[in-house]
A and B are shown apart, each in its own frame.
Chain A
Amino acid sequence: MSLSAYFVINLILALLLYLYGRSRAIAFSSSRKLFATKGYFGLHNLLVAFVPSFLFVLIYTLAEPGMIRYLVQSALPSVLDVEPESFQFIYNELLNVHAEIIPFDASNTTHTLGLAVYVGAINTVSISKMLLFGSIVLIATMYALYRTNPSFNARVHAELMIKWILMLLSMISVITTFGILLSVLFESIRFFGQVSIFDFLFGTQWSPQTAIREDQVGSSGAFGAVPVFGGTLLIALVAMAVAIPFGLFSAIFLSEYAKSSTKDILKPILEILAGIPTVVYGYFAALVIGPFIRELGDNLGWQLTSESALAVGLVMGVMIIPFVSSISSDVISAVPMSLREGSYGCGATKSETIRNVVLPAALPGIIAGVLLAVSRAIGETMIVVMAAGLAANLTFNPLEPVTTVTAQIVTLLVGDQEFDSAKTLAAFALGLVLFVVTLLLNIYALHVVRKYREQYE
C-alpha cells in the first residue's frame, strides 16, 4: 500500500469515529448532563484514531529503506557469494535493476537471485507494516469506542492529548540540535580513528586529496587543519574590520541622529542588503571585487590573485553590516533616556554623550552582537566557495589566497564520494569544529544580550 493509501484510511477512520463520538454524545445528553460538550467527544476519538497510527506510518516509512537493506544484507550471502566490502556496490545495482534504471539481465545470477532476495525483503517489510498498522488502528478504535460513554470527561482527555502533541512538536527543534551533534560527532569519531586528533588540530599541512593509487604522489593525504582555521580567521578578521565600523556608525546615526523620515528610507536599504542571497554576494565577489583588487595590485606593481582574502572578506563584511547595525541599534535604543538626559544636563554635546555615556552603557550588548557577527562570518559558505581559493596557505597577509573551513567542507563533500575515505570524513570533523565554535560563541553572546536587556528593564 502506498503512503497516501495509509493516510486516506487513517483519515476516513478518524472521521468516522469523530462522527460516532459526536452523535453518541448528543444521544447521551438527552438523558443526563455530560462533563463535556459533544465536540470534545468527537475530538477525543479523532485524536485517538489518527495520531498513533499516523506517527507509526511516518516513523516506519522513514526506517523502511534501512530495514530492507538490513534484511538483504543478512540474507544475500546465503544465496550469493558476497564479500562484505562489495555489498554496497551489489546493493546499489539491485536498487537500480529494481527501479529499471539498469535493464534486467536473466543470465546474471546477481540479478536473478539477488533481485528475488530484494523483492522478498520489500514484501516482508511492507506486509509487517500493514499488519502493525492494522493492529494499532484496531486497538485505537476499541479504546475510542470504550471511552464513548456518558461518564467520560472527554474535554480533559482531549485537551491533555493536544498539549502532548504540541509538546512533541516543540521537541523537534531539540531533536534537531542533537541530530546535528550526533551525526557530526559520529562521522568525526570515525575520522579520528584514521587520523589522530592532534595531527588534525595542530598539524600545518592540509592536502586532503587522497589519490586513488597507492604509488601516486601525495597519496597519503595530510589533514593538519591549522592553515584552514587560519584562513577562516583571516577572512573573518577582514570581514569584521569592514562590518564593525560601518555597522556601528550606521547604527549610531540611525538611532541617535536620524529623523524618523530619514530612518524610513535608510532602514529598508539595510534590510535589502541583508535580504540578498549569499550566492549573489559570492558571484559579485568572484566577478567584480576579486578581479578589481587584482588589477589594483597590477597597477601598483604587485602580483595578486583575484582570490585574495581581502576581496572575500570585504564582500562578507558588507553582507554583515546590516546584522551588526540592527543588533547595535537595538542595544543602543535600550539604553535608558534618563542617562542621555543626565549627560545633556551637564552640558555635553550629542557626540560626547554618545561616546562617554551611551556607548559604554551599550558596550556589553554591542560586544555580544559582534560575537554573533563573527559566528556568522566563520559560518558563511557561498561567498568563500565561489570567491576564495582552495589552496591551504598559512599566512596572515590578506592579499594572498586562503581557504576556509566551510569552503573545505563543500569541496570535500560535493561530487562523487565514498563514505569511508578520510577525505569525506574530514569534512565532518571540520563541521564538528565549526559547530562547536559557533555554538560557544552564540551561547555566550545570547547570554550576554539577555543579561544586558534585563539590566535596563
Chain B
Amino acid sequence: MSRDLKTLVSQGLKSRYRNERIMRSLGVTALLFASGFLLLILSIIFSQGYRAFTQTYIEIPIELSTADIEDISSINFQNKIRDGLRELFPELQARAELADLFRLASRGASIDLERDISSETPPGTINFIALASSDVDMINKGYFVDSESPRGRLSEQQYEYFQSLTDRNLISRQINTNLFLKGDSSYPEMAGVMGAIMGSVFVLGITLFLSFPIGAATAIYLEEFAPKNRFTDFIEVNINNLAAVPSVIFGLLGLAMFINFFGFPRSAPIVGGFVLTLMTLPIVIIASRAAITSVPPSIKEAALGLGASKLKMVVDHVIPLALPGMLTGTIIGMARALGESAPLLMIGMVAFITEIPQTIFSPSTTLPIQIFLWADSPDRGFSERTSAAIIILLVFLILMNLIAVILRKKFEKKW
C-alpha cells in the first residue's frame, strides 16, 4: 500500500516540479518584460534627445564701423549677418543664390548679435558665432548620413556652401544654451524650455503652497480630532475616491468652475495650480495620515497624562514626529503634479507662448505640455527637442523622488 503511494507520488513529481519552474519563469518573464520596456523607452528617448543639448553655429565675420558703434540703435543686424555671409562667399552674385545662402543662418542670429554688441565694443571685424538654421543643424548632427538624401532639406547649392564652410572650419557645435534659456519658438533652433519650466515652477509653487497646509490640516483633523461617526466615514470614503478620479475630470472642474464661473483668466498658472492642488490633495492627505498613525500612542498618551491639552499634544509631539512623513508624501504628490498634463489641457494652458511668463496670471505652458506641443510637430528639429525636454522633465522627477527617498531614509524611525 505505502509502496503504491510512493510510486504514485514519484510519478507525479516530474510534472509538479515542471509546473514549479513554469510558475517561477512566468514571474521572471513578466518582470523582464516590464524592465525591458522601461529600458526601451529610456534608450529611445535618450538616443533621440542627447543631440539637442548641442547646437550648430557658423562663424561669421561682422564688420563694425566707428559710426555703427556710436549709434547702435540704427544698425540693421539682419543685414550685418548677411554681409558677413556674403563676405565668406564673395563669388555669389545672383539674388536666388544669395537668398539660399542667407537661409543657412538662423533668424535668431541677428537677435544674438544685437545682444552681444554694446557701445563698448571696439570697432573693426569681429568673428561672430552665429546660430545656424535648423536644417544645417540637422545635417551637421549627422541625421542624414545614411539616408538616401544626405543633404536633408537643404538645396544642392546650400549643401555645397555648407560643405565649403565645414572645410574652412567655420562650422562648430556648442552647448545649446537656447534650449535652457529661451521660450518656445516656431523655429526649432531658437526654441527652448525656459518658458515651460517657469510655468511649471509657478503652477507647482501654488500647488505646494495650498496642498501641503490643507492636506496636513485634513489629516490631523481626521486622525486626532474627528469624532468616529458616519460623516467622518463619508469624508474618508470621499478622499479615497477622489484619489482615483481621472485627472481629466479635474480639468473639467477647473474649466467650469474657476474659468467660467469665477472668471479666472484662461491659460494662467494660478488656475493650473488650483486644479493640481485639488488633484494632489488626496495623495498628501493619505500620506500624512499614514505618517500620523505611525507616531506611537505611548508618546501621545504620555503628553496627555502630563496634562497637555489635545492641541498641545498634537502641536508639540504628533506634528514634529510626523512632519518628515508628511513632507515625503507632499513631494511625491508634487512629482505627480509636475508630470500631469491632461487637466492643464482643459484649462487652456496649451498654447504657443514665446514669452517667459512673469506672474501667476500670465499665459503659460508647463513642461509636459511643451512636450505635448513639440511632439505634434513633424520637424526633426522639434522631435529632437521633444526628447530633450522629456530628459529634462525626467531629471526633475528623479531629483524630487530622490529628495523624498533621502528624507524618508534620514528621518524614518522604527518605533
A interface residue numbers (CB < 8 A to B): 62-63, 65-66, 69, 155, 158-159, 162-163, 165-167, 169-174, 176-177, 179-180, 183-184, 186-187, 245-250, 252-254, 257, 266, 269-270, 272-273, 275-284, 286-288, 318, 321-322, 325, 349-352, 354-355, 372, 375-376, 378-382, 385-386, 406, 409-410, 413-414, 419, 427-428, 431, 434-435, 438-439, 442-443, 446
Contact = CB atoms under 8 A, between A and B. Distances in A.
Interface stretch (B57-65, B107-115, B116-124, B248-256): B248-256
A249 B30 contact: yes
A288 B390 CA distance: 15
Which of A69, A277, A325 gathers the greatest number of chain B CB atoms within 10 Å?
A: A277
A456 to B, nearest CB: 19
A279 B386 CA distance: 11
Contact of A349 (B16, B38, B250): B16
B380 to A, nearest CB: 12
A419 B266 CA distance: 14
A265 B337 CA distance: 26
B383 to A, nearest CB: 8
A386 B375 contact: yes
A177 B238 contact: yes
B324 interface: no
Contacts of B240: 442, 446
Interface stretch (B67-75, B127-135, B338-346): B338-346
B255 A413 contact: yes
Contact of B246 (A177, A253, A350, A379): A379
Contacts of A282: 372, 375
Contacts of B245: 180, 379, 435, 438-439, 442
A431 B282 CA distance: 20
A270 B31 CA distance: 8
A406 B23 contact: no
Interface string B1-28: 0000000000000001101101110111
B397 A275 contact: yes
Contacts of A174: 234-235, 238
B170 interface: no
Nearest to B350: A414
Given A249-B29, A414-B350, A443 B247 contact: no
B252 A443 contact: no
Contacts of B282: 173
Interface stretch (B171-179, B212-220, B290-298): B212-220
A344 B267 CA distance: 61
A350 B218 contact: no
A321 B16 CA distance: 29
Interface in B339-391: 339-342, 345-346, 348, 350, 368-369, 371-372, 375, 383, 386, 390
B341 A173 contact: no
Contact of A439 (B19, B241, B260): B241
23 contacts: A65-B264, A167-B225, A179-B257, A180-B249, A183-B252, A183-B257, A252-B23, A266-B31, A276-B41, A277-B397, A278-B339, A278-B341, A279-B371, A283-B390, A349-B16, A385-B345, A385-B372, A410-B248, A410-B345, A438-B245, A439-B241, A443-B241, A446-B241
Contacts of B37: 273, 318
B94 interface: no
Given A272-B38, A278-B342, A284-B44, A184 B242 contact: no
